[in-house]
Amino acid sequence: MRPPSLTERRENDPDFLLTLRSVDDSLHRSSWPNLLDKLSDTRPIHKKLFQRYQEDWSMDAAGNYRGSAGTCVANWNIGGDPNKPADTTSAFENVEKDMSDLELVIRRLDTRECSDRYFRKVVFIFQRFQVIHPYYDGNGHIDRLILANLMVRHPHISESPRFRIHPHPFSTALRICVNNYRSNPEILESYFLNWFCHH
């Protein structure tokens, strides 16, 4: 049986947006090394945002990756079938390693790079996070926090005022871009040019 959706549980809570803004403001104020620390391991952020929206049995889902031993998500695959992970996401037993690999990519970012190269790397990070889908729910908000806070740190990348971390549903168009990234990364890169301009 699928656990209660974190998204459903915070849907009508006005405090969620306040907490999200507080987290985003804190990230914006962080030094570059501190920001990389926070965004390379987002488990504390995920726990802060979503822990209050779970039932008693699932209190350890927030702040833990799928596949974390001894938790309710230890054997959790996206789609809910432990024997058949979704084709487009990491199996639970691979999440920890996949996130460790992604952490290295984040920590190697350098805002002194040209904006085009930096932009492409951040889009890659967004796509990899979506493919790994490390949490059983709330992945979209965390990924958009990573995306926005990394993008705006480059001196030649600006964020569109139309971009929102919440609400910002994972549209069919974005899903197609993510799933086809390997064969055609330019599609996802073009999608994000609607939200982030680099020059």
- Name the token pair of 13: 């809570």
SS3 169: coil
Q: Residues 44-54: pLDDT tens digits?
A: 999 999 888 87
119: left (phi over 0), alpha (psi -120 to 50) or beta: alpha
pLDDT tier at 161, thresholds 50, 70, 90: confident
pTM of the model: 0.89
pLDDT band at 106 (very low <50, low <70, confident <90, very high): very high
Residue indicated by tokens 């926005």: 148
Break the chain into its structural domains and give their ranges: 14-198
Contacting residues for 194 by C-beta, under 8 A, at least 6 apart: 160, 162
Q: Predicted confidence band at 160 (pLDDT cuts at 50, 70, 90)?
A: confident
The average confidence (pLDDT) of the chain is: 87
Percent of the chain's residues with pLDDT above 90? 55
Q: Residue 17: in which H helix or E strand, if any?
A: helix 14-29
Which ranges constitute the DSSP H helices of 5-138? 6-10, 14-29, 32-40, 43-50, 95-107, 115-132
68-82, 96-110, 158-172: range with highest mean pLDDT = 96-110
The domain 14-198 is classified under which CATH number: 1.10.3290.10, 2.60.40.10, 3.40.1350.10, 2.30.33.40? 1.10.3290.10
Confidence band for 117, pLDDT divided at 50, 70 and 90: very high
Identify the pLDDT of residue 88: 67
